[in-house]
Each structure stands twice: as structure tokens, then as C-alpha cells.
Structure 1
């Protein structure tokens, strides 16, 4: 058993990834732990109060778990580019009677309050995505008894995370669904192509003995086995869990993952201003080329439209986050998905 997992009592080296915006429910996190693995709550886009409530719900189940936080790494949007993009997107919003934000909204997703919550009411694991938390934050969490992880997408990012003092790395390959964890989000997508095993090898060479969790495009038992052979102590899966019974993903999103009408995935910043992999649809086709970099401003701009489209089942306009293995997602209990993924271990 991995030393990284053993002190938590997690015997299955398969973790449920944090998926912000609804999919990572407390029920999914608990189900992953009861199947022998471990799950992460997604703090992103939640108020500190809601995050505290979800932490309490998982803690009451008596299982190990983690919390993922968006560390600030803003991409300020050019105001003129924002207004031009808002004018483009408005043609989709008008039929829904929506008023989109006229000016950019720049915030840090309650960073300080969430960090304070996790220091004063510690959880077993905390992972960071989008930015580096800084050595002071890492030290405060570690002093509170928390294992600290950082999501990285390159060897250079792994070195920076190691310098910040984290305990372990989540190495995310470009095949991952949803947002890339890149620390340079203004760089135009798509990311450089690299397989997860090759990326793990690059990171291991860069940072030596830091434990690694592999993520990105893992959808089969063979993917899991290959990632562990490459030197990861565990794997992290997200897209393959989106259709599970415990997932909080919307029904249109769940159905689209296996709908033959969707012919593949693309990396786009059209929805949020950060690169993210989604099922190709009308919105990605029409707006990716004209979307400026700008997070969180573009996230707040398109959020009302995405919510309205989801409620209406309008998959032309929904951010259908999906990794390259999305066809393997099944409508089954989380425990069955994790058991299936562990078949080759």
C-alpha cells in the first residue's frame, strides 16, 4: 500500500477528483472512501459557509477525504476585449432574457476565508489548483495536521510546488476534462501533447522523491495500471465518475457524455477565460476563436447563460466538461466504477 494513502486507511489507489460546479457531492466523496479510495470536495465557486456544511457532512460519515481549493492566479481581462466578447455572447443570452455583467467581475473565490476555514477546522488532505498557495499557507496547513497537495501540469510547475513545501503532487495530463491546472493560463490552448506516463517521468526527474498522483484521461483499468507502473502512487479520476449515481452533474451533461451527437472534446477558454477541455458544441465552435483570456471575468460573464441553458437542457450552450475518456462513464454506483477501474491491480 502507498505510504501516502496508508495513514488514512485508504487501500485503493484510486481517488475521486474534485469537480467544481456541482458534480463532487458529499455523497460521491463518501462513496469513494467507502469503496476503499478517497474523494475530494471541490471548494471552487462555493461560499465558505456551504463548504463548511459539506465538510461537516463528509466528516459525519467517518471517512477520509480531501478538499480542493482554487488558489488565486487571476488573468485580468482587457476591458475593451471583455466588452467586445460580451457583445458577441449577448446574442445567445437575449433569447433567455438574461442580463450579463456589463463590466468585468474580478474576485478570488473567497480565498482568505476558505484558507482560514481549513486551518482552523483541519481536514486530512487539501489540494490546490490554478495557482500556488505560497509557503506560509502550506506551512499553516501542515502545522494543522493536513497533507498538502498541489496540482501541476509541467515539470517546471512541479519544481515550484516543491519549493513551496507541499507534501505531494497531483500531475495532470492534457487529456483531463474540465479546467487545466496550468499555472500559465494566459498561454493559448491547446496544451502541448504529452501522455500521462511521460509527464509523470518528467516530473519525477524534476523533483525526485515527492509522491505523485496521476490524473488526466484515466478511464479504464488499463489506464490505472499504466499510470501506477509509471511511478504514481495513486490515480485521480473525474470524468468517468460524472454519470455515477452520486454525481451532482446535470442530466444534460450526463447524457451528453455518451451521446453520439458529440463527436469529441476540445480545449477552450470560451466559457471561463481559462483553458478547459469540454465536449465540442455550438458554443465552443462559435466563440472559442474570439474569447479573450480573462479569468474569472469570463466565468462570471457566461455563468448566467450556462445556468439557463442547463435548466433548459440546451446542450448547445452548456460547458460540457469532459476528458478524452468520457465514453467510459456509466450510470452506476461510484463503488462499481472504482472497482472496475481497479480490476487490473
Structure 2
């Protein structure tokens, strides 16, 4: 790892900030205590709620940790399409006996208030999703002693992050669970296969910028982490792998769904939030995904009550079951133990590769290929 990231965690393992409750102080503390880098997710929380979780986390660990912020959304949604979708969801509201939410509940997620708190009482790491802050914001955080990371999904977004003054980028492949962290949400490219796979994206970003890279997307085993590091990443970020840990704040139905044979695949959908996000394919996604508009966070607010009601009545078919493509490989281990297992797998993979090279593998010796003696 680069020296800056090495200072933040003993192992190149980052627990992804999963908004919606999974990334709680208990989980982040367990990961940081075990030698990884734990993260809290400020998304969908008030500024005071975020600060309360920071205080709880500090009470559980003295190790470095991070906070993730959602960038304010500048695009205005088409009100007519939101109303059409509201009408389509009327049957869901009747079924779950709960009203639909107010799509105008807010667009900025309390960004400025959260940023002000983090500048007044700095934390070790702050990452940003759905966009890139200004250079002045990065300068202020650097002055506060905070390490900054920007989620990117293309080399161009990585270049913007570097130009703006970020310390590192979190390179998110198409395999990742939850929301795609694109800086610009373009509905014109939905479903046309333009997302970049993680290993290819790492290589492209490595050639585009000089920043440390945290790799994210479908990583569930130490061997996969080794592959990401070999491709040029400095650390690996895992979300779905930690979602099923006992310390995770995710709903038990969400945890169980990761390995439930009823849920066999994932897809990107706008059904629950209005922005592309990868989750397990369930009834709600199948019925409403094709008609959901590009309207974030309006659709998120609209469906919030429905998702909560589905969880209350024990119906995973109406929940947003965010998951990466490797979800079937989830292991229900305590978070600290999972960090240790992943590190052991990583080292075993490295040792195997080193041993293979020492025995002539990969160099053309002893395998019938290569130069003649």
C-alpha cells in the first residue's frame, strides 16, 4: 500500500460505507480494531445523527476510521415522470398499508451541515459519493488533517478527483452492490452495458491518475483482493462481505437473502431510489424496475415508507436488498474474524504466486514453453 493508506490501516482491507443502517459504529469499530479501515455512512442521516454515530465509534476504538458523504444532487427530476411512478406505486401503498413518501423531502442530504461538523471536529478519513467536491473543500479537509477519497466509476471521474485535490480514489466496478457512485446520472445509458468491470477499471484509472486506488466491486475473498492489488490497487473495499456480519446493522432479512436460494442474481435498478443500484432481484424490482424514472432522491423518498413496511412485515420481496455480484459467497463471521480470514487468504495467495514463480512457473521453465536451453 502507499504510505498514507498504510498509516490508516494495518491490512489493505476497507469496509465499505453502506448507507441505510448496515455500516454502524459496532461494525466499523470491529473492522478497525482488527486492522482494516472501518467506515460509517452518513447518507440518509441528519448531521446530528452522523455526529452521534461518530461519538459512539470513538468510544469503541482509537483506530482510524472513515465517514462517507453523499454529494448534493444538482439535476432536477422530471416531475411528470415522478407522478406517473407515484401512481404506479399506489397498489404497493395499499398492500403494505402505508402512505407513499414526499418526493420533495430534500435533495442535498444535509451535506453542508455534515461537512461543517467534520471540519470542526475532524475524523481520519472522509470519502465522497455521487460527485466530487471543490478544491476549496479538499484544502479545508487537508488543513484539518483529514485524508480524502472520491468514489469514481470512470478514468475521467478519477482525473476530476485528482485535479480537485483528493488524496485517493475508490474505483468502483460494475460488480459492486448498492448505488453506482457515478458523478453524473445519465438515463440514456441504462441497460446498454457501459459499466466497466473492476480489474479493467483499475488498470485504466492507474494510467489516468497518480492517486492511490481503493478497489471496490464484488470482492468477497482474499484471493480476489490479491488480484485487485496485482492489477494496481493499493487497498480493497468490501461491502457485501461485511453486510452479513453479526455487527452489521442490516436487517436480518437482508442478511439472510444474501445466500437464500430464492435470490439467484443481482441487477442494476432504479426501482427503489431513482438512481442505478445493484441489488438482489425480487418482486418489487421485477415489477417496478422497468418503469422507475431517473429521479434521485425523489424516488428514494417516495419508496422509503414502503421499504420499511416490507421489512416490518417480514417481506424481503418488497425490500431493497442491495448486494454485489459475489453475494452467494458471503460468510457469517464476526467482522474482526472476517478481516483476519481475508488477510490470511490474501497472504496465502501471494505466497502461492511467489512459490510458483520460484519453481519456474510463469517464466517458461519446467513447463515445456519458453526459450530452448
In structure 2, the residue matched to 1:200 is: 202
Provide the rounded CA distance (Å) in 1 between the counterparts of 2:306 and 2:58: 34
Query: 8 Å contact 1:74–1:295 — kept in the other structure?
Result: no
Provide the rounded CA distance (Å) in 2 between the counterparts of 1:78 and 1:344: 47
Provide the rounded CA distance (Å) in 1 between the counterparts of 2:176 and 2:242: 13
Superposition deviation, residue 105 in structure 1: 3.5
Q: Give the match's secondary structure for 2:318.
A: coil
Superposition deviation, residue 97 in structure 1: 2.0
Provide the rounded CA distance (Å) in 2 between the counterparts of 1:102 and 1:46: 17
Summarize the alignment of residues 1-345 of structure 1 with structure 2, pairs less than 5 Å apart.
Answer: 2-8=2-8, 10-60=9-59, 61-101=61-101, 104-187=104-187, 188-190=189-191, 192-207=194-209, 209-342=210-343, 343-345=345-347
Provide the rounded CA distance (Å) in 1 between the counterparts of 2:124 and 2:104: 36
Query: 8 Å contact 2:103–2:299 — kept in the other structure?
Result: no
What are the Cα deviations for residues 224-250 of structure 1, in whole angstroms up to 9, with x where unaligned? 100010111100000011110110000
Query: 8 Å contact 2:101–2:304 — kept in the other structure?
Result: no
Change (3 A) 1:102 1:125: closer
Gaps of 5+ in 1: none
Query: 8 Å contact 2:102–2:301 — kept in the other structure?
Result: no
Q: Which has the larger radius of gyration?
A: 2
Q: Give the match's secondary structure for 1:15.
A: strand
Q: Give the match's secondary structure for 1:266.
A: strand
Q: Give the match's secondary structure for 2:109.
A: coil
Change (3 A) 1:57 1:84: same
Superposition deviation, residue 95 in structure 1: 2.0
In structure 1, the residue matched to 2:364 is: none
Number of positions where the alignment pairs a residue of Structure 1 with one of Structure 2: 343
Structure 1 vs Structure 2 CA RMSD: 1.3
What are the Cα deviations for residues 140-184 of structure 1, in whole angstroms up to 9, with x where unaligned? 111111011100000010011111100011000010000000112
Provide the rounded CA distance (Å) in 1 between the counterparts of 2:54 and 2:107: 23
Superposition deviation, residue 265 in structure 1: 0.2
TM-score, structure 2 as length reference? 0.89
Query: 8 Å contact 1:270–1:287 — kept in the other structure?
Result: yes
Q: Give the match's secondary structure for 1:145.
A: coil
Provide the rounded CA distance (Å) in 2 between the counterparts of 1:250 and 1:238: 15
Provide the rounded CA distance (Å) in 1 between the counterparts of 2:195 and 2:117: 37
Provide the rounded CA distance (Å) in 1 between the counterparts of 2:4 and 2:215: 13
